[in-house]
Amino acid sequence: MKRIKTSIEVLSQDELMLIHNAALKTLDRVGMRVPNDEVLQMCADLGCKIDLETKQVKFPTAVMEQFIDGMRAESTMKPSENAQELRGWISTQVSLVDYVSGTRRYGLRDDNFKNIKLVEKLKNIPACNAAVVPSDVPYEIADVVSIVDIQKYSTKPGGTYILTPFGAKYVSEINKVLGLRDSYLFETISPLTFKQDTVEMALAFAKNGGGLGIAPMAMSSATAPVTISGTLVIETAEVLGSCFLVHMMTGEYPGFSASCHSIDPRTMLCSFGSPNQALFGVAVSQLGKFYGIQGGTNTGLTDALVPDFQGGLEKGLTAAFNSMGGMHSIGCQGIVGADQGFSYEQLVIDNEWIDYYNYIVRGFDVTEDHIGYDMIEEVGIGGNFLGEEHTVEYLRESYWISNLFNRDDWVNWTAKGSKSIYDRAHEFVEEVTAGYREMEPVLEAGKCEELDRIVQEAFREAESKASR
183-185 and 211-213 as β-strands: parallel, antiparallel, unpaired?
parallel
In 124-204, where do the E strands start and end? 183-185
Helix (H, G, I), strand (E, B) or coil at 310: helix
Q: How far apart are CA 327 and CA 281, in angstroms?
A: 7
What is the average pLDDT across 387-407? 93
Q: Which domain holds residue 17?
A: 1-363+402-468
Give yes or no for residue 3 having a pLDDT over 80. Answer: no
DSSP string over 427-441: HHHHHHTTTGGGPPP
Average pLDDT of the chain to the nearest whole number: 94
| Number of structural domains found in the chain | 1
Is residue 228 within 8 Å of residue 280, measured between CB atoms?
yes
pLDDT score of 468? 74
**Residue 296 dihedral angles phi and psi, to the nearest 5°:** -155, 145
Helix (H, G, I), strand (E, B) or coil at 152: helix
Is residue 331 within 8 Å of residue 274, measured between CB atoms?
no
Beta bridge partners of 132: 93
pLDDT score of 465? 80
- Higher-confidence residue of 160 and 325: namely 160
Could you tell me the CA-to-CA distances from 176 to 39, 182, 227, 386 in Å, in that order?
Answer: 25, 9, 46, 57
pLDDT score of 1? 54
Give yes or no for residue 209 having a pLDDT over 60. Answer: yes
60-74, 314-328, 409-423: least confidently modelled range: 314-328
Q: How far apart are CA 379 and CA 386, in angstroms?
A: 11
Give every CB contact of residue 208 below 8 A, 6+ residues apart in sequence.
172, 182
Q: How far apart are CA 272 and CA 264, in angstroms?
A: 10
Q: Is residue 386 part of a domain?
A: no
Residue 314 neighbours by CB distance under 10 Å: 23
Give every CB contact of residue 405 below 8 A, 6+ residues apart in sequence.
352, 356, 421
Buried b / exposed e over 361-395, threshold 16 CB at 10 Å, is beeeeeeeeeebeeeeeeeeeeeeeeebebeeeee
| CATH number of the domain to which 294 belongs | 3.20.20.480
Could you tell me the CA-to-CA distances from 96 to 104, 109, 427 in Å, in that order?
Answer: 6, 11, 17
Could you tell me the CA-to-CA distances from 152 to 126, 144, 309, 380 in Å, in that order?
Answer: 17, 12, 38, 60
Q: Is residue 43 part of a domain?
A: yes
Is residue 280 within 8 Å of residue 11, measured between CB atoms?
no
Q: Is residue 368 part of a domain?
A: no
Q: Is residue 444 part of a domain?
A: yes
Task: Give, for 102, the enclosing helix (H) or strand (E).
Answer: none
**Which spans in 291-336 are helix H?**
309-325
**Residue 165 dihedral angles phi and psi, to the nearest 5°:** -60, -30
Q: pLDDT digits over 222-267, tens only? A: 999 999 999 999 999 999 999 999 999 999 999 899 999 999 999 9
Give yes or no for residue 377 having a pLDDT over 80. Answer: yes
Give every CB contact of residue 296 below 8 A, 6+ residues apart in sequence.
255, 256, 257, 258, 284, 288, 327, 328, 329
Q: How far apart are CA 302 and CA 271, in angstroms?
A: 8
DSSP class of residue 90 equals B
Q: Is residue 379 part of a domain?
A: no
What is the average pLDDT across 297-323? 93
Q: Is residue 394 part of a domain?
A: no
Q: How far apart are CA 156 and CA 116, in angstroms?
A: 9
pLDDT score of 467? 76
- Quick one: 444 exposed, middle or buried, by C-beta within 10 A (0-12, 13-18, 19+)? exposed
pLDDT score of 292? 92
Cα–Cα nearest to 112, from 452, 457, 437, 460: 437
Percent with pLDDT over 90 in the chain: 89
Q: Is residue 302 part of a domain?
A: yes
Is residue 73 within 8 Å of residue 287, measured between CB atoms?
no
Residue 129 neighbours by CB distance under 10 Å: 23
Give yes or no for residue 356 having a pLDDT over 70. Answer: yes
Q: Is residue 40 part of a domain?
A: yes
Give the count of alpha carbons within 13 A of 427, CB side only. Answer: 10
Is residue 278 within 8 Å of residue 301, measured between CB atoms?
no
